Amino acid sequence: MQTYSHDEIKRSPSLPAGTRHTDLTRGKDTRSPAPTQGEPVPYDGPPWPAKLKHEALHGLAGDVVRRIEPHSEADPVALLVTFLVAFGNAAGRAAHWHAEATPHFTNEFAVIVGNSAHARKGTSLDRILSQFEVADSFWSNNRIVSGLVSGEGVVHAVRDSKQDAQGEVEDEGASDKRLFVTESEFASVLAVFRRKESTLSAVLRNAWDGKTLRVLAKNVGEVASNPHVSIVAHITFDELKARLAKEDLSNGVANRFLWLCAQRSKCLPHGGSLRAEQCQDLTATLSDRLRQAKESEYMDFNPAAKNLWELAYEALTREVPGTLGHVTSRAPAHVRRLALIYALLDGAKTVDDPHLRAALALWEYCRASAECIFGGLNATARDIHERMRLAFPYELDRTDLHNAMGRNIRAEDMTRALAELARFGLATSRKEQTSGAPRELWRAATN
């Protein structure tokens, strides 16, 4: 697998001035090596994303990642995205830009996907949040929550004050509309989305959009205006693939997330040695940048950034079919939000060329990650897996599967789909001896 080192991050080449976004290719194929016995089966479809480009490590975000990286097993990409999303939330709902009449703020959603629990996804979160404990202690102690179980819960956390019929305050509500949600088990969130009466998906869509949140349910009646909700979630490939085999992610919630592949960057048997006092300069700068961000207003591109945006826009808006297209269809909005965050981290008043280049470089990694995550399991494989899941614990042979699919599937397509399900650990098979050719029996995996 692709790994990172402190020196490699520093040596990564810069993007030449004037380079088109469409030229930001992912580079060479860096497929994962074969696993040893007992390890999860790695993804073997589209290649693992190439190393994060140097431009993404711009400014204070890059300084923080470079300071932490030698002392952590966390993937630098996970460190970077967690820092950007955390800053965007702590900065509040002041800085913004408009897409036509729609305002966009600095709140972002991200899902970090790792091969296993050994991807050190949680380590990246802990390392980053420690940087904010001094820079914004109120936010660190009061506005970081976990557990996405319902839309009503999200609305309640950022609810408005409420008065009774006599005008007396019945509920003071949430005085701070910032909410940074950490979710270590995103598979449980996907399960909540499937529940018939769940409002979580709809509430999260509106939260990312920055719209007023409300749940039209009896005896609820809570409203949250001006919400500023951000999410950093974690999930393993095995969990995500199992969910994707039966989830429809085309309803608009998945494309509001940045999807990133991450893995353990190194092995540190005794842990890292980075102490808080070694980061005091970064913490002081972070505190100052947060103060400035909270005083910001509308921030547009400057002329240089506008020129680069015009070059990048066509590629960002190019239509992509299938699930991959659904989850990447908000590319322009994500890039502009990230560029705004990079600008605030520089203490800038406008979004400049380096801020947009940083955002484009990070999006390129997100786009490649989405291809790695969503580009492998095709529709036929999903349909076959659903038939197996419904029949579980019974086994199905190829004739059973052919009939279940309405006898409308070619033998080679079934073979390819079964191979995908086996590779992702979604199905198991065994051979049963008969008087003739062995009978191949399949069933959905128990996990």
Domains of the chain in start order, with CATH, are 6-374 (3.40.50.300), 379-444 (1.10.10.10)
Rounded Cα distance, 305 and 178, in Å:
29
Question: Above pLDDT 70, what percent of the chain?
Answer: 81
User: pLDDT digit string (tens) for 4-26?
Assistant: 333 333 333 333 333 322 222 23
DSSP class per residue in 83-118: HHHHHHHHT-S--BEEETTEEE-S--EEEEEESSGG
| Model confidence at 138: pLDDT above 50 | yes
User: Of 50-54, 58-62, 421-425, 431-435, which range is least confident?
Assistant: 421-425
**Which of residues 165 and 105 earns the better pLDDT score?**
105
Rounded Cα distance, 45 and 10, in Å:
30
pLDDT for residue 4? 35
- Distances, alpha carbon 309 to alpha carbons 331, 343, 427, in Å: 12, 15, 44
Question: Rounded mean pLDDT of 403-425?
Answer: 84
User: pLDDT digit string (tens) for 252-305?
Assistant: 899 999 999 998 766 666 566 777 777 889 999 999 999 999 999 999 999 999
Would you state the structure tokens that stand for residue 198, as one six-digit string? 């769940």
In contact, 206 and 224? CB cutoff 8 Å: no
Of the pLDDT bands very low, low, confident and very high (cuts 50, 70, 90), residue 122 is: low
Question: Rounded mean pLDDT of 75-83?
Answer: 95
Question: Rounded mean pLDDT of 370-388?
Answer: 79
User: pLDDT digit string (tens) for 188-238?
Assistant: 998 888 888 889 999 999 999 999 999 766 556 799 999 999 999 999 887
**Range from 79-83, 182-186, 212-216 that averages highest in pLDDT:** 79-83
**pTM of this prediction?**
0.76
Rounded Cα distance, 397 and 403, in Å:
10
| Model confidence at 401: pLDDT above 80 | yes
Helical packing angle, 121-135 and 76-90, nearest 10°: 40
Q: What is the mean pLDDT of the chain?
A: 83
pLDDT for residue 240? 82
| Model confidence at 49: pLDDT above 90 | no
User: pLDDT digit string (tens) for 326-354?
Assistant: 899 999 999 999 999 999 999 999 999 99
